[in-house]
Amino acid sequence: MSEHGPLSLHVPEPEGRPGDKPDFGDVVIPAAGTVARPPVDVPPEEIRELAYTIIRVLNRHGEAVGPWAGLLPDGDALQGLRDMMKVRAFDARMLTAQRQGKTSFYMQCLGEEAIACAFQKALSPGDMNFPTYRQQGLLIAGGYPLVAMMNQIFSNEADPLTGRQLPVMYSARSHGFFSISGNLGTQYVQAVGWAMASAIKGDTRIAAGWIGDGATAESDFHAALVFASTYRAPVVLNIVNNQWAISTFQGIARGGAGTFAARGHGFGIPALRVDGNDYLAVHAVARWAIERARRNLGPTLVEYVTYRVAAHSTSDDPSAYRPKEESDAWPLGDPVERLKNYLIGRGVWSQDRHAQYAAEVESEVLAAQKEAERHGTLHSGGKPSMRAMFEGVYKEMPPHLVRQRRKAGV
């Protein structure tokens, strides 16, 4: 027997479970504007503290403050608000459509809209995102047609992916949006490979990897950091920490590390932590990281601190594992409200215009849905062909698939 007594297993638990009063007292939120903005060629070891704080621009009064503020013209910020509102309206409609049986599955990004929308605007044409299923904002802010997204969600006859993929697993090379994999983490290292290819070719395009807090535990996260670090790949490695991975709170994936951003330190990769519900902060940090990549200074790890307001997916019911009021208690607020208040404060927006645009975007989404539904929904109307099921496995259909297709009578 050891002089120190028996060992025991530590199993981390979240602050609150259903029935508990939500408590984010442990989440240290620095005041907006208090974190320095280093030059992009700063040596990583000089900015380690940026992985343990939160870069914030919008304060409680809706003002943009500090060294990361003042970088976005009002017009762009207005566009950002509209993008986020469109994403939210889109999500709401598609959620309803799923409930109505028009598709099998849907995933919202409620509360996290600022991240993808603002990041997309910091990219240049030709750059490539390797998104997860919760970055619909990249497509919508990037101007990808809502109808095409809906066709995919409905798996209808106009689905660009011919019904092969689960709803929301879009692919849009033209819009810098890599084909989403349902497998967590795999695309993170592919983003690094894409960026390495760009460097090998002497190109100027950069890549962005996306991963959730939970999925950082996957092995490919490590592979991505190892390769990015070794070859100084021009890639921005984004971690969306929305506090939950289905029913599992972020402490299970994070373990004893203070933050997910800290993971970068083991690789000499500069790591920044940013308020993911602050459009201006996200955009400013994204620009910083993208500039580093573009200037061949290598990868940057960015952790977006946010909260998954909705259920994980339409197959999930969060009331079984977290307090119902937790999302209200979330201290970083609502990204749409915060940007709206900022713009109203700037005098370029108003409650009325907001309500008006909300109605407009609602009809835009509705119109898109009508158009999409003309091509069918999962269980009614136009369908992708059964032939399409056999195609595209290889560039040319090999004999065994020709035999099988024939056997299937198509």
Partner 1 sequence: MARMSMIEAIRDAMTVAMTRDPGVVVFGEDVGYFGGVFRCTQGLQQKFGASRCFDTPISESGIVGTAIGMAAYGLRPCVEIQFADYVYPAYDQIVSEAARLRYRSNGDFTAPLTIRMPTGGGIFGGQTHSQSPEALFTHVAGLKTVVPSNPYDAKGLLIAAIEDDDPIIFLEPKRLYNGPFDGWHDRPVTPWSKHPLGEVPEGHFTVPLGKAIVRRPGAAVTVLAYGTMVHVAIAAAEATGIDAEVIDLRTLLPLDLETIEASVRRTGRCVVVHEATLTSGFGAELVALIQETCFYVLEAPIGRVAGWDTPYPHAQEWDYFPGPGRVGDALREAMAG
Ligand X SMILES: Cc1ncc(C[n+]2csc(CCOP(=O)(O)OP(=O)(O)O)c2C)c(N)n1
Interface of this chain with ligand X, residues 242 to 271, rule: CB under 6 A: 242, 244-246
Which of 208, 190, 237 lies closest to 126, judged by CA? 208
State how far the Cα of 221 lies from the Cα of 227, in Å rounded to an integer: 10
* Contacted by 101, from Mg ion, a copy of itself, partner 1, none: CB < 5 to 8 Å by type: none
State how far the Cα of 269 lies from the Cα of 197, in Å rounded to an integer: 19
- Residues numbered 113 to 152 that lie near ligand X (CB under 6 A) are 134
* Contacted by 82, from Mg ion, ligand X, partner 1, none: CB < 5 to 8 Å by type: none
Between 230 and 315, name the residue whose CB sits nearer to a copy of itself. Answer: 230
* Contacted by 356, from partner 1, a copy of itself, Mg ion, none: CB < 5 to 8 Å by type: none
Q: Taking contact as CB under 8 A, which single stretch among the options 10-18, 73-81, 97-105, 161-169 is the one that binds a copy of itself?
A: 10-18
Site for a copy of itself contains 295 (CB under 8 A):
yes
Q: How far lies 91's CA from each of 77, 157, 303, in Å?
A: 21, 22, 23
**Residue 92, class by beta-carbon neighbours within 10 Å (0-12 exposed, 13-18 middle, 19+ buried)?**
middle
State how far the Cα of 153 lies from the Cα of 392, in Å rounded to an integer: 20
* Contacted by 186, from a copy of itself, partner 1, Mg ion, none: CB < 5 to 8 Å by type: partner 1
Site for a copy of itself contains 226 (CB under 8 A):
yes
Which of 25, 5, 6 lies closest to 15, judged by CA? 25
Q: Taking contact as CB under 6 A, which single stretch among the options 117-125, 180-188, 267-275, 346-354 is the one that binds ligand X?
A: 180-188
Dmax over Cα atoms in the chain, in whole Å?
74
Cβ pair 120, 147 in contact under 8 A: no
Q: At what angle do helices 74-99 and 113-122 cross, to 10 degrees?
A: 130
Shortest Å distance, C-beta 132 to ligand X: 6
Exactly one of 115, 118, 153, 184 binds ligand X (CB under 6 A); that residue is: 184
Residues making contact with a copy of itself (CB under 8 A):
1-2, 4-12, 44-45, 124, 196, 198-200, 202-204, 206, 217, 219-223, 226, 228-232, 234, 251-258, 262-269, 294-296, 298
